[in-house]
Amino acid sequence: MNTIIHHLSLLVQMSGVANLTLGNVIMILVSLTLVYLAIFKGFEPLLLLPIGFGAFLANLPLSNVIGPDGLLTLIYSVGVSTEVLPTMMFMVIGALTDFGPLLANPSTFLMGAAAQFGVFAALLIATALGFNLAEAGAIGIIGGADGPTAIFTASKLAPHLLGPIAVAAYTYMSLVPLIQPPIMRLMTTKKERATVMKQLRPVSKRERIIFPIAISIITALLLPQAIALIGTMMLGNIIRESGVTERLSKTLQNEMCNIVTILLAASVGATMEAGNFLSLSTLKIVTLGLVAFSFSTFGGMLLGKLFYILSGGRVNPLIGSAGVSAVPMAARVSQVEGQRANKNNFLLMHAMGPNVAGVLGTAMAAGVLISLLK
């Protein structure tokens, strides 16, 4: 009889019920909130759903998807810690991105730089709040509005903050249509927002092929630390633009994109274990993410205004806010705001220039911060 009771008590001790902690319950609720936002509110579902469910699996009591032999921990160790998956994601982004609008109007490169203002504002505030410089740099990159870059930078500078940084980055990226418009309206007059821009010139195939080669060379010469991100992005882009590797381009844009997204998002989600995630730091990071996004929008708009003045009113300042690299959402926001002021205003293609420049700008900023702070 005693043996039976002993074994029953052992079974109870080994059950999930006996090992369920308050932290687990809170994190399960947080993860299910992410799943809810993804499925029912459409917030970046391709990313928030696997992140949310990865976090959900990691927080189930005695979950063996994490830990030394856990699947998601193994994927994280092999794919994220080694930077393989974030850089592969950049190859995918290169294959998905049409740099034509940027090539047609290269001056918008500068708007992509100005919209990195939030990265540095958040870095300063994070330092003031007590984060060390490496952590502050990783948090600041949220302001670039580029998920893979945020993951790449955090895995290099502050791996212990990866979970909250990734969640903050992707959540705010999905909230771009809510965060940006008030700042855009605050910084512009209706007349400025109504500015109709001249149609972009067509871009030749030769330019499109020279672009990835030129950008890779410039990056290698100026900032070799960023070549892992920008070089792989340019590889994806030349595969897209060459016109002779359609199969590879389609694979990058579809199968590879989906596989990398699932592995990256689920394994990052699994880092949101209660012990790591439930802390004051997470709350600070989430708040700093919002600050970073707002300042990035502000920086982009500021340069947009400058362009408006210098061009004699020919550049709509709204395209400046698209310099944050949430592609194409930030460009769509410029389009919507422009059209709200003037029904005949079509800014989407103009805003795509700063938008893709923002991707390059964020990768550059990440490269600089990693080289200075690692």
Partner 1 sequence: MSSDFVGMGGALTVCLIALSIVFIALAIMAGVISLVGRLAGDKNGIPEATTSPSAITATVQSSDDEDQEIAAVVMGALSAELSRVDGQVKLAAGQSSSWRLASLQEAVKRGRLK
Interface with partner 1 (CB under 8 A) = 98, 100, 102-104, 106-107, 109-110, 112-114, 116-117, 119-120, 123-124, 127-128, 133-134, 136-137, 196, 198-207, 210-211, 214-215, 218-219, 222-223, 243, 344, 346, 348-349, 357, 360-361, 364-365, 368-369, 371-374
Which C-beta is closer to partner 1: that of 103 or that of 161? Answer: 103
Min. distance of Cβ 257 from partner 1 in angstroms? 19
Instruction: Give how far Cα 158 sits from Cα of 123, 137, 139, Å.
Output: 13, 9, 9
Which C-beta is closer to partner 1: that of 71 or that of 368? Answer: 368
Q: Are 48 and 168 in contact (CB under 8 A)?
A: no
Min. distance of Cβ 185 from partner 1 in angstroms? 23
CA–CA–CA angle 145, 280, 21 (5° rounding): 110
Which C-beta is closer to partner 1: that of 16 or that of 243? Answer: 243
Q: Report d(CA 208, CA 200) in Å as an integer.
A: 15
Three-state SS for 165? helix
Min. distance of Cβ 352 from partner 1 in angstroms? 9
DSSP assignment of 65-88: SSSTT-HHHHHIIIIITTSHHHHH
Q: Report d(CA 184, CA 139) in Å as an integer.
A: 24
Question: Residues in the chain, how many?
Answer: 374
Min. distance of Cβ 175 from partner 1 in angstroms? 23
Please report, as a single letter, which amino acid is at residue 67: G
Min. distance of Cβ 52 from partner 1 in angstroms? 32
Please report, as a single letter, which amino acid is at residue 344: N
Side-chain half-sphere exposure of 112, counting CA atoms within 13 A = 28
Which C-beta is closer to partner 1: that of 24 or that of 105? Answer: 105
Q: Which two tokens stand for residue 340?
A: 């709200």
Which C-beta is closer to partner 1: that of 265 or that of 364? Answer: 364
Min. distance of Cβ 99 from partner 1 in angstroms? 9
Which is nearest to 208 in space by CA: 247, 248, 244, 237? 237
Min. distance of Cβ 308 from partner 1 in angstroms? 18
Which C-beta is closer to partner 1: that of 37 or that of 373? Answer: 373
Which C-beta is closer to partner 1: that of 75 or that of 359? Answer: 359
- State the Rg of the chain over Cα: 22
Q: Which residues of 180-213 are buried (b: 16+ CB within 10 A; e: fewer)?
A: bbebbeebbeeebbbbebeebeebeeeebeebbe
- Sequence-ordered list of residues with C-beta below 8 angstroms from that of 39, at least 6 positions apart, any chain: 45, 49
Min. distance of Cβ 167 from partner 1 in angstroms? 24
Which C-beta is closer to partner 1: that of 43 or that of 295? Answer: 295
Min. distance of Cβ 253 from partner 1 in angstroms? 14
SS3 per-residue string spanning 8-49: HHHHHHHCHHHHCCHHHHHHHHHHHHHHHHHHHCCCCHHHHH
Which C-beta is closer to partner 1: that of 20 or that of 336? Answer: 336
